Chain A
Amino acid sequence: MKNWMYALLRGLCLVCSVQAVETKRAVVIYEDKASEVQAYTSLSTKPDDLWITLADLKRATGFVNKPQGVCRAELCFPLPKKRRTEFLQTQSKTTWFNLTEFARLLKQPVARDDERAAWYFGPRPEVQNSFTKSLAAPNFTLPDMNGKQHSLRQFRGKKVLLLTWASW
C-alpha cells in the first residue's frame, strides 16, 4: 500500500479497533543467536531503525521491559525518561520496542543487511573490554573434531598456551 493511502486511511480510521500495521519478517542475531522476528520499520523518523514486539524482544535477546528499565536477570538499563517514545510505541494494542535505539544507548555495534532484513548486534563495549582491566582470559566453549565441547575454564590450575591458526 502506498504511504499516502495508508496515512489517509489511518486518519479516517481513528476509532477503528483493528488497524493494519505494515510489518515484515527480519532476522536478529543477538549474542550469536539468530531469531526470526516481526519488524516494524516505519515507526520512527530514523528509517533504518528496527522495532520489534516485546515478545520478540524477550525471545531474541532475553530482555524484558519493566518499570525500572529494560532488564535481563540482574542487568537493568533504565530508558531516558524524556526519550521514552524513541524506545517504546504502542500501535493498535501492540507495543513495539526500538532495538536499534537500545543498541545506541548501550553503545553496541550493529551491522545490517537491508535486502535480507538481517541485523547483527555485537557485544556491549564493557563486555568486550572487561578483560583489559581484569586481565582474566575470556572464557569460551568450542568443540573438538569429534564434536566434544571444551571450555577454557576447565584448564584452570594449569598454564595454558592459547594458540590460534587457520587452514586458509
Chain B
Amino acid sequence: MYSELKSQNFEIISVAQDTGGVKDAGQWIEAAKPEYTVLIDTQHLVTRLYDMVNVPTAVWINEQGRIVRPNEVAYVDNRFKPLHRLEAEEYLAALRDWVAKGEKSTFALSESELKQRLAPQNPDWALAAAEFGLAEYLYRQGQSAASIKHYKEAQRLNPENWNYKRQAWALTDAEREYGTNFTKEVQKLNGKPYYAPRRLPDKK
C-alpha cells in the first residue's frame, strides 16, 4: 500500500507501543523490512498524547499537521481478521480516497465533526495515564514486582484501555500476577469487539 501511495505526497509513521523497545519490537520490524518510518515508543507516549486505548489505532494527519480522522481501529491487512472480523480493504479504500482527494474526500472529517469526536480526557483516564507512567518507570528501574500495583490501578481507572492491560500482562506471568490473560478477556466479551467500532461512511 505504501509503495503505491508514497508518490502522492503520503507517508506512514508506524509507532511500536512497546516497553521492551527494540528487544520486543525489533524482530517484527526486521521481518517486515518496511520502507516507511517505524519508530519505537518505549514510554507509550503516542498512546498518551492522542488518548488512544488500543492497537492498531490510526490517525490521519493532513499537510498542515491537522487531524483529519482521529483515533480509530486500523487494520491495514487481514492477518488477524479471524479475531476482529474487520475487512482491511474497506479501510485501505478510504485511505486511498483521502490521499487522492484530500479534504474533498468523503472520509476527511469536517472541523465540526472532528470537534464532536474529540472530547477532553476524562479525569479518571488522566489519572490512569499517570499510574501507567509510574508503573512503566518502576519497571524500567528493575522494580517489576512494585510496578504491578500501578499497572492494576491504571487498568481499573481506565478499563477501556487495552494497551494498559496487554502491555502489563506481556511483561510478566499474567495468570499469576493478574489472574487473567488476553485470550480469557476476549472470551469474556462473548463476541463483542474489544475496540471501538470503525465509523466509515458508505462509499459515494
Contacts and interface: CB of A to CB of B under 8 A. Distances in A.
Interface of A: 27, 29, 32, 34, 107, 109-113, 115-116, 118, 120-123, 125, 128-129, 131-133, 135-140, 142-145, 150, 152-153, 155-168
B25 A122 contact: no
B120 A132 contact: yes
A135 to B, nearest CB: 5
Given A152-B65, A159-B61, A142 B40 contact: yes
Given A137-B65, A142-B15, A112 B134 contact: yes
A110 B43 CA distance: 17
Contacts of B52: 164
What bracket does the count of chain B residues touching chain A fall in?
35 or more
Contact of A159 (B10, B57, B170): B10
B42 to A, nearest CB: 9
Contacts of B102: 159
- The dominant DSSP class at the A interface is mixed
A165 B46 contact: no
Contacts of A121: 130
A137 B58 CA distance: 12
Across the A-B interface, the 10 shortest Cβ-Cβ residue pairs: A168-B170, A120-B134, A132-B118, A122-B130, A109-B130, A111-B130, A138-B49, A142-B39, A111-B134, A160-B61
Interface string B92-126: 00010011001000000001001100111101001
